[in-house]
Structure 1
Amino acid sequence: MSTLDVPTIIAAGLDDWRPLVHSLHTRYRTGDFATGLEFVVDIGAAAEAANHHPDVKLTYTHVDIQLLSHDSGGITERDLELARTISDLAAERSLEADPSRLTTVEIALNAVDKDAIGPFWAAVLTGDPGAYATDEVTDPTGQVPLLWFQPTESRTEVPPMCFHLDVWIPVGQLPARIEAGVAAGGRIFDDSESPSFVVLEDAEGNKACLCTVMDRD
Structure 2
Amino acid sequence: MTPTRQQISDATAAQGWRLVLGAIHAQVRVRTLAEAAEVATLSAAACADTPGHLQLDLRADRALLRLQSEVDGSVTTQDLELAGRLAVSLRTAGWTLEPGADLHVLEIAIDALDIAAVRPFWKAVTGYVDARSAADLNQGLVDPAGRGPAIWFQQMDVARHESRNRIHIDVDIAHDAAAARIEAALAAGGVMLSDHRAPAFWVLADSEGNEACVCTWQGRD
TM-score, L = length of structure 1: 0.91
How does the TM-score come out when normalised to structure 2? 0.89
- Corresponding position of 2:123: 122
Shift of 1:43: 1.0
Task: Extract unaligned runs of 5+ from structure 1.
Answer: none
Match in the other structure for 2:72: 72
Structure-2 residue corresponding to 1:12: 11
Number of residue pairs aligned between Structure 1 and Structure 2? 214
Aligned to 2:33: 33
Q: Percent identity among equivalent residues?
A: 33
Aligned ranges for residues 203-214 of structure 1 at < 5 Å?
A: 203-214=207-218
Whether the 8 Å contact between 1:4 and 1:74 is mirrored in structure 2 is no
Tell me the distance in 1 between the aligned counterparts of 2:187 and 2:131.
Answer: 38
| 1:200 paired to 2:204 | yes
In structure 2, what is the Cα distance between the partners aligned to 1:198 and 1:52? 33
Query: 1:135 pairs with 135, 139, 144, which one?
Result: 139
Q: How far apart in 2 are the matches of 1:173 and 1:124?
A: 33
Task: Please provide the CA RMSD for this pair.
Answer: 2.0
Question: 1:19 is paired with a residue of what secondary structure?
Answer: strand
- Structure 2 counterpart of 1:8, one-letter code: Q
Q: Does 1:92 align with 2:92?
A: yes
User: What is aligned with 1:162?
Assistant: 166
Matched residue type, 1:184: A
Query: Which amino acid counterpart does residue 193 of structure 1 have in structure 2?
Result: R
> Which stretch has the larger CA shift, 45-54 or 15-24?
45-54
Greater CA deviation, 15-24 or 73-82? 73-82
Distance 2:170 2:2 in 1: 23
Is the Cα contact below 8 Å between 1:24 and 1:67 reproduced in 2?
yes
In 1, Cα distance between the equivalents of 2:48 and 2:146?
22
Kindly report structure 1 stretches of 4+ aligned residues shifted beyond 4 Å.
Answer: 130-134
- What's 1:184 paired with? 188
Distance 1:13 1:22, change over 3 A: closer
The alpha-carbon distance between structure 1 residues 135 and 11, as it changes in their structure 2 partners (threshold 3 A), is: closer
> 1:69-89 CA deviation, whole Å, 9 max, x = no partner?
233332122111111121122
Instruction: Tell me the SS of whatever aligns to 1:12.
Output: helix
What SS class does the counterpart of residue 171 from structure 2 fall into?
strand
Contact 2:42 2:90 in 1 (8 A): no
Preserved CA contact (<8 Å) 1:20 1:104? yes
Given that 1:155 and 1:161 are in contact with CA atoms closer than 8 Å, whether structure 2 keeps it comes out as no
- Choose 61-70 or 88-97, whichever is displaced more: 88-97
Q: Which residue identity lines up with residue 40 of structure 2 in the other structure?
A: V
Contact 2:91 2:97 in 1 (8 A): no
Equivalence for 1:109: 110
For the 8 Å contact 1:119–1:132, the answer to whether it is kept is no
Q: Deviations over 1:96-152 (max 9, x none)?
A: 3341221011110011111111111111100x7x74897222232223221111111
Query: In 2, are the aligned partners of 1:189 and 1:201 still within 8 Å (CA)?
Result: yes
C-alpha distance in 2 between matches for 1:185 and 1:131: 36
Q: Paired residue for 2:179?
A: 175
Q: What letter matches 1:88 in structure 2?
A: V
Distance 1:50 1:135, change over 3 A: closer
Q: Distance in 1 between matches of 2:117 and 2:50?
A: 42
**Whole-Å Cα distance in 2 between the matches of residues 50 and 194 of structure 1?**
36
Distance in 2, matches of 1:52 and 1:167, equals 26
Structure 2 unaligned blocks of 5 or more? 133-137
